[in-house]
Chain A
Amino acid sequence: MMDSSKQSPSRAPFLLRIGVLLGFACLAIGCKRERISVYSVPKESSVQMADASQEEPSASTPGIQYKTPAGWTEHQAGGMRAAAFSIPDQKGNKIDVSVVPLPQINASKAQVANLWREQLGLAPLAEEEVSREIQSVKVGSLDGELFDMVSDKPTANTTDKGRVVVAMLAHAQRTWFFKMSGEDEAVRAQKPAFLEFLKSVEFRAGHVESPARFTSTNVKEVPGAKREATGTRPEWQVPTGWEEVPPPQMLLAKFVMPDKEQPKAEVTVSVFPGDAGGVLQNVNRWRRQIKLDPVQQDSLDKMTTSIELPEGKAILVDLSGENPTNGQPTRIIGAILPKGDRTWFYKLMGHEQIAEREKAAFIKFVQTATYPNG
């Protein structure tokens, strides 16, 4: 293909032209270098139309609007809560009011009601008994169901009998819980205001995100696919050597133990409303992650211990199995802490040796956590 001939002087201008072309090409590369740009754009409000709240949920627009009754103090909502209030009673105690939207649940009314009854130390009711107890209630223009339960004796959070009033309704592919809890007498006194509050609720079309103080994007690649942040999280003493990294969705926090050599381990923290399926279901989920067979309740009781925390007892489980991908010996040490209307999950998962080394630090980490809203 190639031919040899001597260079012709007459081709010099042509080479010059080629040089200029290459110069432009280099300039084109240079164009991509970072420089300040100035431009005018139409105002966002005239372009974005319906999506003002889509980019980042704001604390004041949590998917509902409402009229806050007199004497109620609104707090920064966080976690799963779309709104949170407190009301001081005459004894100096507080009544808590919260609004929690959850993806629609497939539980019966009795199962839901018995969750609250359990908190009050009441025996579970059958479905027909719960149906008799339910009253209808207006939540904005929609019809909801109201559960009103009072304990027989003081509860863990009250010096007198405790009372829980919960309104529940399904709307916009969510089940909404409006809950007021506190001492019996004080809650009874606030019930009319609570019912007025329910009537004042207006659901914002479409937007039902839980509020977030920040949106974290580091775990998602597509611009704008902003992960919701965690809301207010506990404060804790992070053991030396643990490195916090942005958590994947659904987790509140994630720590890794950087180890230049394999194997590695990580600690994750998550929180879910209610009992999140119960201890047995969650332990069996963890067991499956390390190729262990699920167990029954009686076996579970034998394999769990408890650790004392200022907030109560956390259930501790220590499981040894194997990593399903590489077959290495893998251990899960988990702590489950039911607290208020939520359950906190702490999980250390990693190679057997690392888990053993970090176990004491993990337990101390769980013990040092102090939780938002008391």
Chain B
Amino acid sequence: MPKLPRIPNPIGAAATRQTTNPPERADELADFVLQDHRGEDVRLGELWSDGPAVLVWLRHYG
């Protein structure tokens, strides 16, 4: 792909192309505790304790 002309990078874009690196298991993810829309803590592992979960990491709310 042709490179764009060099432009300012005020948004913290990566300097070089990265690769994605999804895990094979969600063991590390399971222990993270995040807040929901009410500010209540949710342990990620709870999401798939009763069945599969589809986890979507959003780039933006839209």
Are A and B a genuine interacting pair, yes or no? Answer: no
